[in-house]
Every structure is written in C-alpha cells, then in structure tokens.
Structure 1
Amino acid sequence: MSLDSSLLEADSQNDEKLGALVFYSKFDDPDEWTQALRAYLPDLDIRVYPDVGNPSDVLYALAWQPPEGFFKSFENMKLVVNLGAGVDSLVGRNDLPDLPICRLSDDGMLALMRSYVTFAVIRYARDMPAFEAAKRRKEWHYIHPTPLDQIKVGVLGLGTLGSEVAQGLAQTGFDVRGWDLSPKNLPAVKTVCDPEQWTSFLGDLDILVNMMPLTPKTRGLIDASVFAALKPGTNFINASRGDVVDEAALIDALRSGQVGGATLDVFIKEPLEPDHPFWEMENVYITPHLASITVPTSAAKNVAENIRRVNAGLEPLHQVNPKAGF
C-alpha cells in the first residue's frame, strides 16, 4: 500500500493535536530521528527515554529493544513502531498493551540488506575465500569461474527482507530458490512451502541464506539435521537472527566440511564473546550485526504517516503480530 499523501499534507493546526512520541534505542541517534521526523511532523512532541515528562502525554513509541516494563506507564499509548525489521524483542512481554504494532517500511534498510547478502553470495560464488587464502600463501591460484546461473542459492524466509534479498540475487543472475511457511510468488524465484520438499530443497543448494524471523517456531530451526541435508561443502549465510541457528551444530558442520564456509552477521549472544570458536575458524566470516540498519531519512515518512493514520482513526500500515513474531 502506498503512502497517503493527503495525510502527510495535514496542516500544522492538526499537528498540534498529535500528542507526544517517546523514542528509545541504544543503537540509533535520537537527534537524527528527531530531525527526520520533524521534516514531516514539525510540531510532534518527541521525547527521548527516560526524559518522558508526563507519561500520559505519550501516544506513540518508536523503539528498538525497549527494556522490560517500558510500556507500563504509557496508559494512553495508541501505536508502537518497531525501530527495525525483527519484532522478537516484543514477543512474550507482559507490559505491552493491546494496540497496533508496526514494523518500519524503509527502502534504505531493504537496499542495505540486499547489498550485504548479494556481497556474501558473490564472495562464495566467485571463490574469494580461496583467493584470500592464496594471497596469505603468496600463491597465484587460478580457479575457473562458474557461471552465476549454475549456482543454486536458497533463501529461507520470504518476508519483506527475504523477498528483497531473493529477488536481488535473481536479478544478479543466480538460480534462486525460496522457502517460506506460506505460499509466495516472486519473479524469477522458485518458491517452495511444502514440508514434503524441505529435504530436497536443501540438498540441491550451493549456498543457503537464512532470512527467517525469530519466533517460537523458528528458534533453533537450522540445526544438525538441516546441515546434514545440504550437499557437502555448501556455504551458509545468516543475516537474520542468531537464535534461529543451532551454533554448536554449525560449528560441527564447519569443522567436518559439511558446511564449506559461513558468513555470519548475527549470533545467539552479542557481542560475540572473545573465546567463541567462530573467531578462530578460517572458514567463518564475521560482521557485527550490521547487514541492515534503519535509515531515518527514508523511514521517517512511513512513521509519520502511521502517526497521522492512527490520529485520524485509521488502521496503520505494516502491522505485525508479536505473538506470531512477524
């Protein structure tokens, strides 16, 4: 659904009736967000936690991983906007009232995730780990390139980010297959949701990309049985959530060669502890949970429209179900 320009063009007199928004994130710049939001809602009262003033004034929250009890004092809250794609931090809370919860729709975030996964897939497709190792040996090591359309890439999870990743890889020229819990129809991507085809889906891949959200059903989903179903030497990329993967099983698969290499942006415990085996494994490429970030200048328009919609008595866009986890 496209943004409603009539709501975005409401006059300043109506803006004064919007109430206050509370902002919380340990990872995002509140000043940058304040500036971005005020480009659309110049009179919105923006308060940065814990300096919230009178909690009764707060009608909206823009938050990422808020602490337990965060929502209890905001008795008049109408809307929660999750400052990111994954809503797992909002699952199972006892302080969250029954109100609309939305994820951000951010073209900048989509572009960053697409670029990260495309980079990681190309790195394996073009044998860059072997060339990196050859450089350390000062060895001129030639490997004949494999045509991209002969490289089978599987994407687990075809939500907003997963679909963007799968279509980006297909546009780059890879043979892309997608798996999701429900039927999906994506151009140039062969999609599967039949549990009977799970093992055959995995066994036909050269590279497996995890884009599954973290939910009670997906926690530990990628376990020893998944790695055993892959062809020996298949490479693995995780740009979703660390808890979707059984790390001990992945370590065993990497050590045995069943998984040829792994590119990991997310982990069960972050930051990754200094004594974690991943640090010492030459076939593991580590990045510190930065595959995709929210870009305030591109995401603020969506936040502003949802505030206007709720204030006008309309349903907000991009709602999520925290009980389901997506």
Structure 2
Amino acid sequence: MAILLYLDKTRSSAWKDAITQAFPELECRTWSEPGDLREIEVLITWKVSTELLSRLPSLKAIFTPSAGVDQINFDEIPESITVVRMINPDLEQQMAEYACAAVLSVYRQFPLYRQQHNAHQWKQQHIAPAHQYRIGVMGLGQQGNAVLNQLATFNFSLRGWARSQHDLSGVDCYAGHNALPDFLEGLDCLICVLPLTDATHHILNRAVFDKLNTGACVINIGRGGHVDEADLMTALQSGQLGHAILDVVQNEPLDEDSSLWEHPNLFITPHIAGITRIDAGFDSIKENLRRMIDHEPFIGVVDKSSTY
C-alpha cells in the first residue's frame, strides 16, 4: 500500500518518519517525491483538487489532518473514495480550554476590569452566581461535549443544541430548527462549535442574536462562515450583544484594515482554539492506517450527504 502526504514540509517529514517506523510494510511518500501516483491508495491532505484526484486512480481513502472538513468539495469526491476526518482528543481538550477561558473572562468581567485598570479605577463589580449564568453550546459532537463537560465543573446553567436529539447529563438538550428559538431564549453566552455546512452558514445572525439576553456574549470556535459579520457588528453597536469572541472569521487571515479589529467589545484570536499538534495528530492517522491494514472500519468517516 502506498500513502501520499500532501501537506506542509514540516508535517509531511514528521509523519512520513512516524508512519515508516510504525508500519514498515507501507510505502510512505511526500509530494516532493511522490513516485508513481497510480500506486497511491491513501492521501493525507488538508484539501484536494479534481486535478490531483484525476492523477490518483487507485485512491481509496482521504485522511484530513483536521476535525472540520468544510474545505473539501464533496461534489468532486467519487463515491468509491472514503473521506476520514481526524478524531483527536488533544484538539477537543484545546477547544474546551479556549471555551472555558473565553466564558470565564466575560463572566468574571475581565474586559470591564481592564477598562478600569486603564483608567486607574478601583471598583468592584457584582456578578450573579454561576448557576444563574446561562450558557448554550451549538454543536454536540466530540468538541461540543468536551466544552460542556469542562463548563459543568463551574456549575453554570447549560444548554445544548444540535440537528439530532442528544441526552447529556446536566445539560438541557434541544434538537432541530424548530427547537432553536427555545434553546436561545435568554442565554447569557452562546458558543458555536458546529460543523460548517450549507445549513449552518451564517447561522449566527440577527435573528439568533435578538433571542439572547441583552448584553450577551457570542463565542465562535467553529468556522468563520457561521457568523454573519454585518449582523454581529450591528448587534454589538446596539448593545444587544455585550461581547463577541471570534477565533475564526470569514476570510482568514483577517485583513489588517477590517472593521472587525476596531470594536472595543470584539476580541479576535488567529484560529488557535484548536491546533493539530504533530504528535497528537499522528495518533489518529496511525489508528486508521492500522484499521485499513486489518480491514476494520475507519474512525471518523465523513457522511458525504451531510459533509460531517
């Protein structure tokens, strides 16, 4: 079996060495020395073009080094090719860390205290008990579950929403489009960890913001396409949203002249909520290669009809 790593040089080199050591019977190649492309059965890549696919007639599987697969055009992937996304507990841990840090900074009013600091003002602010602070998480997959599990340790009031029904201990779960208004009603903080699909594009919009508690916070650690950025700015300007924390934006990297940089209550980080570390990411690749050799089902197979 021949494997092709179509990634950055650092990751390609590290994973080629790791795959060769773990599976000496496999032939692992990088794009700099791909050999005969007709022999490639597994492609490990972030995204793939129709031109590249046309040169890989023996391809059976595409492994992505990410949990999200919105960068792949599934209309171009033949039915005979399985797409496998990365299941990476380290990514889930990172996302939960980021979400908790973001929530706690707003709940404990750090932005306000920063303003007071800059004004040399010593003034204590009242905050309600954590069990009265209502947090909703959109997306109840591995990452959404990890976020909720960590937030639960602080005794927040938790809700979860997804396309299908879930049953999570300590979380009021809602499912489907019709249940979305009830899920959103009166939330103090909304966190998005949804996959990006046609159905979730611009799901964070004016109608959603208006359902939240006045002065609520929106945290997006999903994809930039989830947010209608014009509606977000309008909601911040009106005070309907008190804060927004974005780890992702529509066009990355964000242009230095973007108005998103300017709003005092909008905090942006450069897509770092969850980064695929080379060592941790390889564990997922390694397990699925083992499964392929042993003719076992992959972990993380993408449903091409829903694209996640």
Aligned to 1:173: 155
**How far did 1:312 drift?**
3.3
Tell me the TM-score normalised to structure 1 length.
0.88
Q: Which letter does structure 2 place at the counterpart of 1:322? A: K
Aligned to 1:154: 136
Of residues 111, 116, 119, the one that matches 1:137 is 119
Q: Write the distance in 2 (CA, Å) between the matches of 1:192 and 1:317.
A: 26
Aligned to 2:180: 198
- 1:1-326 equivalences under 5 Å are 19-26=1-8, 29-96=11-78, 98-326=80-308
Q: Secondary structure at the match of 1:61?
A: strand
**How far did 1:133 drift?**
1.3
Counterparts in 2 of 1:28 and 1:84: CA distance versus 1, 3 Å = farther
**How far did 1:218 drift?**
0.9
Counterparts in 2 of 1:69 and 1:39: CA distance versus 1, 3 Å = same
**Residue segments in structure 1 that go unaligned for 5+ positions in a row:** 1-18
Spell out, residue by residue over 1:14-48, the C-alpha distance to the aligned partner (whole angstroms, 9 max, x if none): xxxxx221122349622232344345324432222
Q: 280-289 or 19-28, which moves further after superposition?
A: 19-28
Aligned to 1:3: none
State the superposition RMSD in angstroms: 1.9
Identity of aligned residues (%): 30
Is the 1:79–1:307 Cα contact (8 Å) retained in structure 2? no
Tell me the TM-score normalised to structure 2 length.
0.93
**Residue segments in structure 2 that go unaligned for 5+ positions in a row:** none
Q: Write the distance in 1 (CA, Å) between the matches of 2:238 and 2:50.
A: 41
Q: Which letter does structure 1 place at the counterpart of 2:302? A: V
Is the 1:235–1:259 Cα contact (8 Å) retained in structure 2? yes
Q: Write the distance in 1 (CA, Å) between the matches of 2:275 and 2:138.
A: 20
Q: Write the distance in 2 (CA, Å) between the matches of 1:139 and 1:274.
A: 32
Q: Which letter does structure 1 place at the counterpart of 2:121? A: E
Greater relative contact order (Cα 8 A, min sep 6): structure 1 or 2?
1
Q: Write the distance in 1 (CA, Å) between the matches of 2:177 and 2:198.
A: 18
Q: Which letter does structure 2 place at the counterpart of 1:213? A: P
Is the 2:185–2:213 Cα contact (8 Å) retained in structure 1? yes
Q: Secondary structure at the match of 2:87?
A: coil
**How far did 1:96 drift?**
4.7
